[in-house]
């Protein structure tokens, strides 16, 4: 009989989720090959059934079992895990495409040594759902994932260092262009007006008009100019 190795990093993630989802058993998927083997990037991913949504959280980009020799002691592994929220109806099982797409993003991080942070984006130039290549992936106009700190999980301290939970938010190419013309924060703030937790809904269309971003940018510039002119 083989003893299960201690996983203090894994336990720290579970502890962060416990207050949000008391007495809720997540739908967990383990990956093969797991992290540490050729082609493996994550150890697993859990989907929690929340009100109106599935909340996915990855395990494996941070140090689950112990730090590597060259790890920054301030941060655990890569210093982050992915989260993703997608709409939930009456189904008992979560969609499968998010598990695969989160693994693909983790592979991108590991193979290309990409250190992602809040404010970064990954542009797939094709549906973020993996359509039409994944069996249950719906078609969508969302082709980019923008990353922000998960509003519920934030950043935690673990025995191996800090871990920030980076929530992937699906956006359109048009919304990415708006971000480049104004800012990511501004566009996500507009999206959150009708979607406070920024659930990635493959069925939605682009709805952040350019003029709204432009008006706000002009207003902010006006405030800045007024402040500068009033300065001694």
pLDDT in tens, 131-186: 999 999 999 999 999 999 999 999 999 999 999 999 999 999 999 999 999 999 99
Question: CA nearest 134: which of 181, 99, 90?
Answer: 99
| 106: pLDDT strictly greater than 90 | yes
Question: Domain locations in the chain?
Answer: 8-173
DSSP letters spanning 156-202: EEETTEEEEEEEEEEEEHHHHHHHHHS-HHHHHHHHHTS-TT----T
pLDDT tens, 172-211?
999 999 999 999 999 999 999 989 999 999 999 766 554 5
CB 208 within 8 A of CB 190: yes
Q: List CB contacts of 141: < 8 A, sequence separation 6 or more.
A: 127, 172, 205, 206
* pTM metric for this prediction: 0.86
pLDDT of residue 179: 96
| 231: pLDDT strictly greater than 60 | no
Rounded distance between C-alpha atoms, residue 169 and residue 194, angstroms: 14
Residue with the two structure tokens 């939930």: 88
Rounded distance between C-alpha atoms, residue 134 and residue 96, angstroms: 9
pLDDT of residue 3: 62
Q: How would residue 63 be classed by pLDDT, with cut points 50, 70 and 90?
A: very high
């Amino acid at each position: 009989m083989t003893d299960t190795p201690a996983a203090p990093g894994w336990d720290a993630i579970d502890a962060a989720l416990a207050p949000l989802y008391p007495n809720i058993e997540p739908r967990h998927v383990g990956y093969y090959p797991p992290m540490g083997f050729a082609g493996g990037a994550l150890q697993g991913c859990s989907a929690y059934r929340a009100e109106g949504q599935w909340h996915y959280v990855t395990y494996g980009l941070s140090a689950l079992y112990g730090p590597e020799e060259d790890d920054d002691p301030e941060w655990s592994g890569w210093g982050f895990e992915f989260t993703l929220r997608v709409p939930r109806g009456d189904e008992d099982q979560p969609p499968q495409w998010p598990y695969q797409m989160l693994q693909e993003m983790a592979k991108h991080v590991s193979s290309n040594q990409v250190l992602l942070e809040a404010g970064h984006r990954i542009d797939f130039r094709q549906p973020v759902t993996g359509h039409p290549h994944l069996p249950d992936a719906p078609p969508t106009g969302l082709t980019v994932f923008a990353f922000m700190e998960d509003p519920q999980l934030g950043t935690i301290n673990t025995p191996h260092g800090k871990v920030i939970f980076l929530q992937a938010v699906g956006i359109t190419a048009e919304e990415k262009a708006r971000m480049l013309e104004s800012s990511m924060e501004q566009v996500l703030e507009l999206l959150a007006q009708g979607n406070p937790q920024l659930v990635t809904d493959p069925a939605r269309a682009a709805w952040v008009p350019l003029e709204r971003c432009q008006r706000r940018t002009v207003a902010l510039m006006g405030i800045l100019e007024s402040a500068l002119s009033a300065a001694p």
